[in-house]
């Protein structure tokens, strides 16, 4: 027989009747929120794409970390680092628009398999040269150009493929999740790269990157053709006419042109993290490769948080893009003038949030603006004006840092970003483009 104390204890151990529905409601709300944030992953082909990209992007960030530190070890020159960055992204400036034409003319999945294998082969050559001790600066110049040629085709093709994997309904969410993927790898990659450099050497970083492309290739091969979403048939016609059609469409669509104008400005002068962060870590904060990995990871954490918020929010507008650009410009200047390592890392976290709020919104607006047959060319313009402007910014930042110091150089490029934001706002306002907040810009 139960004692009186035991009898009294039983009801106290059970949850109240009112608490169970409340807990269930909270769990349902959380499940609904998660379902909204990650809804693009319900597509089987996109899950394969996202998972493969995460592995290869992490490997790419490991290589970027090693490449920056290798250049500084070989030369000790900020302008040399800027030059390596320039030659890596110069092919994107020159050939990304042709990559967009290829994306519109040929099956995107097959094109991506070839580009991923090409970048993997380039990384293997770098790894072999570094491991053998024969690496020289001119090797990095040549191999960076080779990588840039493959990326000039890969990037617009990858961007244009997303709508075929998820459809228009989940397109904005998929773009934000791609940004989250990129920045999750940015958290893991630089920190891992810093540890690898300090423990087993730089060659390991390049080997890891080379083999990281295999899951992407496997994922592309395993995709189910029957589950691709319908898109317009591949474009046909002379190459010159197709190039001209894409450029004319962008010029004649004010809202799209405004987005591309601001992408050009921030792409050239603001989004040069591959040059900024190693210079900031080495010369402003006096840290080693581990410190460089840490500040890169702080930037990635902020970017990842912003990507998840954008994926959950699900809206893209010109006004949101402009506000994010203003915040980015101010935060970049604040990072430049902050003398303390810890404070600078904290500001980089917030800067990462602003950078993704801008880039994910801008890319979503471009995706919605692109007619099906022209999506590859529109996204190639986005790639060319974003990533492709890196050579201009890298040389500018490297030269200014060499002559004026890293901090003043960063203040100058932050000011250029702010001026570009004001110019874009004026252009859009003068054409009444800010009045329509719908995502369809065409």
What is the per-residue pLDDT across 180-226, written as a single tens digit (0 to 9) for each?
787 778 778 877 888 888 888 889 999 999 999 999 999 999 999 88
Q: At what angle do helices 44-75 and 137-166 cross, to 10 degrees?
A: 160
CATH, residue 271: 1.20.1250.20
- Locate 419 and state its tokens: 């001026």
Residue 268 lies in a domain: yes
Kindly indicate the confidence band of residue 233, based on its pLDDT and cuts at 50, 70 and 90: low
Residues 334, 213: contact at Cβ < 8 Å? Answer: no
Residue 312 lies in a domain: yes
Kindly indicate the confidence band of residue 167, based on its pLDDT and cuts at 50, 70 and 90: confident
Kindly indicate the confidence band of residue 285, based on its pLDDT and cuts at 50, 70 and 90: confident
Cβ neighbour number for residue 328 with a 10 Å cutoff: 27
Residue count of the chain: 442
What is each CA distance from 387 to 100, 148, 192, in whole angstroms? 14, 10, 24
The domain in which residue 251 lies consists of: 40-225+236-430
Residue 23 lies in a domain: no
Residue 441 lies in a domain: no
Residue 132 lies in a domain: yes
Residue 16 lies in a domain: no
Buried b or exposed e, range 25-45, using 16+ CB within 10 angstroms: eeeeeeeeeeeebbbbbebeb
Quote the pLDDT of residue 80. 80
Residue 33 lies in a domain: no
Is 70 exceeded by the pLDDT of residue 234?
Answer: no
Residue 2 lies in a domain: no
C-alpha 179/C-alpha 173 separation (Å) is 10
Mean pLDDT to the nearest integer, 158-168: 84
For the chain, what is the domain count? 1
What is each CA distance from 39 to 32, 34, 229, 346, 389, in whole angstroms? 10, 8, 16, 31, 33
């Amino acid at each position: 027989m139960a004692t009186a104390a035991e009898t009294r204890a039983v009801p106290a151990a059970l949850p109240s009747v009112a608490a169970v529905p409340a807990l269930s409601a909270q769990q349902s709300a959380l499940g609904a929120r998660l379902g909204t944030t990650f809804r693009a992953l319900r597509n089987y082909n996109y899950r394969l794409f996202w998972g493969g990209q995460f592995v290869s992007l992490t490997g790419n960030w490991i290589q970027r970390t090693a490449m920056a530190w290798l250049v500084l070890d070989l030369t000790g020159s900020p302008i040399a680092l800027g030059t390596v960055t320039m030659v890596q992204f110069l092919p994107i400036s020159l050939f990304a628009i042709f990559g967009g034409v290829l994306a519109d003319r040929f099956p995107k999945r097959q094109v991506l398999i070839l580009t991923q294998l090409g970048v993997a082969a380039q990384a293997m050559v770098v790894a072999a040269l570094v491991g053998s001790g024969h690496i020289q600066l001119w090797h990095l110049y040549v191999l960076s150009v080779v990588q840039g040629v493959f990326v000039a085709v890969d990037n617009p093709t990858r961007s244009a493929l997303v709508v075929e994997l998820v459809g228009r309904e989940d397109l904005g969410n998929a773009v934000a999740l791609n940004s989250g993927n990129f920045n999750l790898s940015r958290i893991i990659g630089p920190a891992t790269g810093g540890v690898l450099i300090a423990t087993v050497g730089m060659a390991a970083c390049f080997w890891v990157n080379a083999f990281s492309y295999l899951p992407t290739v496997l994922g592309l091969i395993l995709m189910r053709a029957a589950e691709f979403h319908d898109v317009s048939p591949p474009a046909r016609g002379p190459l010159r006419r197709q190039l001209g059609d894409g450029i004319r469409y962008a010029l004649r669509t004010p809202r799209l042109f405004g987005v591309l104008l601001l992408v050009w400005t921030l792409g050239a002068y603001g989004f040069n993290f591959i040059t900024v962060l190693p210079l900031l870590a080495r010369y402003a904060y006096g840290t080693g490769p581990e410190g460089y990995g840490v500040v890169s990871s702080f930037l990635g954490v902020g970017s990842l948080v912003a990507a998840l918020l954008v994926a959950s929010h699900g809206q893209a507008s010109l006004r949101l893009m402009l506000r994010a650009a203003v915040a980015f410009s101010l935060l970049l200047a604040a990072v430049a003038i902050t003398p303390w390592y810890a404070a600078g890392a904290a500001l980089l976290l917030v800067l990462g949030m602003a950078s993704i709020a801008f880039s994910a919104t801008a890319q979503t607006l471009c995706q919605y603006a692109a007619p099906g047959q022209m999506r590859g060319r529109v996204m190639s313009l986005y790639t060319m004006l974003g990533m492709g402007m890196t050579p201009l910014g890298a040389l500018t930042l490297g030269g200014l840092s060499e002559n004026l110091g890293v901090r003043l150089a960063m203040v100058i490029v932050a000011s250029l970003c702010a001026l570009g934001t004001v110019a874009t706002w004026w252009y859009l306002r003068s054409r009444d483009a800010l009045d329509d907040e719908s995502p369809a810009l065409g």
